[in-house]
């Protein structure tokens, strides 16, 4: 009997997913644990793995398509079953098959690579309620409706200078998808004037002839939001408009830590270990929470939850080819981990986040967040709280500058750290006390080795 694989719910808020890239094709043999596809949720791009053995009979959706949770995306033929029969069963299967069928055949796993032509594909808007005829007309620009184009299709059109307003979509609700643009490219038609990006992609440039000439190397364009970008925007607006932020800043003498780090790295070089400044900061963040549990707490409406472990979230920026934005992998039980373990966990999670994607488990259950822009040369900044957490630390660079040490002006390393706190959960004085302990740990870094 054929095995139906449907779009799984890969996060608690996921309602639809974008099939970024297929890793299999019709006729391929797959085994349990094999990488079937890359799926973008509202939080991250993740691997979809097989949970059963079989042969791929039919790929039910195209790369770049966004489909609701529970929709059929792939049909597997069991051992001894013909691909034709299984594919036929796929044609008759309901697109809205239950989520339970997905749970029996697939599971989300860490890793994956959204390479190929995905380029950090964005999740499209939910399907429009217009009729199919109306949607098709909108895709061709005939009635003035906003054209629905998959991110992959838009990228290919930009690369080949295809005028999307002249392309008729064959996807759901008239959406222009990858195969539509490739058909135009192969046919050599629907080119934008001069082979440039379609005029519809540059409405501002066409509508404003009096605007100054765009400098060489710049291009006006509209960027479709990824599901992650939508989630970031929604959560940050929610945080800034509903959470009463306050900020406290402290300056840290980093000279002792820089000397200790240099010594440790020299001693550990033969073992392939290199500790970063951020590893020490992460350790200090966690240990200071042990002394000040109010900083390691969450707002829960009519209660405040003080957590029994410190899970430090570390903001990691994503490259443009993965859609940009940031994710926050979590170092769990950071108060119980030494510098070497923190360093290994941080490097592993950051590499995975930038190259393949993190699972919800690797980003979940954070109790305090650390945002470090010091490596970009930033002296000082403030960060927005990640609800329901009570605190986020904004860490600037360890800048070498003239400072006063023992009444003398000398050259030393100073680092500014700004705590943003949720005033419903933590008071200003408590935030200042936390930063005092945090500062003391970094200025006496031997305590971080214990």
CA dihedral 7, 13, 19, 20 (to 10 degrees): -150
pLDDT digits (tens, 9 = 90+) for 94-110: 434 434 333 333 433 33
* Cβ-based neighbours of 418, under 8 Å, separated by 6 or more: 247, 248, 249, 380, 381, 382, 383, 393, 394, 396
- CA neighbours closer than 13 Å in the CB half-sphere of residue 77: 21
Per-residue pLDDT reduced to its tens digit, 397-421: 999 999 999 999 999 999 999 999 9
Would you state the pLDDT for residue 224? Answer: 79
Least confident of 99-108, 153-162, 257-266, 319-328: 99-108
Closest listed residue to residue 415, CA positions, set 373, 368, 448:
373
pLDDT per position as a tens digit, 287-336:
999 999 999 999 999 999 999 999 999 999 888 766 677 889 999 999 99
Mean pLDDT within 63-78: 88
Give Dmax (Cα) for the chain: 85
Tell me if 247 sits within 8 A of 141, measured CB to CB.
no
pTM for this predicted structure: 0.62
Nearest CA among 407, 402, 371, 372 for reference residue 389: 371
Domains of the chain: 3-109 (2.40.50.100), 132-207 (4.10.320.10), 244-449 (3.30.559.10)
Quick one: which of 446, 337, 442, 444 has its CA closest to 393? Answer: 442
pLDDT at 374 over 90: yes
Q: What 3-state DSSP class applies to 287?
A: helix
How confident is the model at residue 99, as a pLDDT?
40
Residue positions annotated with a catalytic role: 423
In this prediction, residue 230 has a pLDDT band, given cuts at 50, 70 and 90, of confident
Q: What percent of the chain has pLDDT over 70?
A: 77
């Amino acid at each position: 009997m054929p095995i139906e694989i449907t779009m799984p719910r890969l996060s608690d808020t996921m309602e639809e997913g974008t099939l970024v890239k297929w890793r299999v094709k019709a006729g391929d043999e797959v085994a349990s644990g094999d990488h079937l596809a890359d799926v973008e949720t509202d939080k991250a791009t993740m691997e979809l793995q097989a949970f059963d053995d079989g042969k791929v009979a039919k790929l039910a959706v195209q790369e770049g398509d966004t489909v609701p949770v529970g929709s059929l995306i792939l049909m597997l033929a069991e051992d001894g079953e013909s691909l034709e029969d299984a594919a036929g069963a796929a044609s008759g299967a309901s697109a809205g098959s239950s989520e339970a069928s997905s749970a029996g055949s697939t599971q989300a796993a860490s890793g994956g690579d959204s390479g190929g032509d995905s380029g950090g594909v964005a999740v499209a808007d939910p399907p429009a309620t217009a009729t199919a005829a109306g949607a098709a007309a909108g895709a061709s620009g005939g009635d003035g409706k906003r054209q629905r184009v998959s991110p992959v299709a838009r990228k290919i059109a930009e690369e080949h200078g295809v005028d999307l307003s002249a392309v008729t979509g064959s996807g759901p609700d008239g959406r222009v998808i990858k195969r539509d643009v490739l058909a135009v490219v192969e046919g050599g038609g629907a080119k934008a004037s001069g082979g440039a990006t379609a005029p519809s992609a540059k409405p501002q440039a066409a509508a404003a002839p009096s605007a100054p000439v765009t400098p060489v190397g710049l291009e006006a364009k509209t960027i479709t939001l990824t599901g992650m970008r939508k989630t970031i925007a929604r959560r940050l607006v929610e945080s800034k408009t509903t959470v009463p932020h306050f900020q406290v800043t402290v300056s840290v003498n980093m000279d002792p830590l820089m000397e200790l780090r240099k010594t440790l790295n020299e001693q550990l070089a033969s073992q392939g270990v290199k500790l970063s400044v951020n590893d020490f900061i992460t350790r200090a963040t966690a240990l200071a929470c042990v002394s000040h549990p109010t900083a390691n707490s969450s707002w829960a409406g009519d209660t405040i939850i003080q957590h029994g472990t410190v899970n430090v979230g570390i903001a990691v920026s994503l490259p443009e080819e993965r859609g940009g934005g940031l994710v926050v992998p979590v170092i769990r039980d950071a108060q119980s981990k030494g510098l070497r373990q923190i360093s290994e966990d941080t490097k592993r999670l950051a590499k995975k986040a930038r190259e393949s994607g993190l699972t919800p488990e690797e980003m979940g259950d954070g109790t305090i967040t650390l945002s470090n822009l010091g490596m970009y040369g930033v002296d000082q900044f403030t960060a927005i709280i990640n609800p329901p957490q009570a605190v986020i630390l904004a860490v600037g660079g360890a800048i070498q500058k003239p400072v006063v040490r023992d009444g003398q002006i000398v050259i030393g390393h100073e680092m500014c750290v700004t705590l943003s706190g949720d005033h419903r959960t933590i008071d200003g004085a408590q935030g200042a006390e936390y930063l005092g302990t945090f500062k003391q740990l970094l200025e006496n870094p031997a305590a971080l080795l214990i």
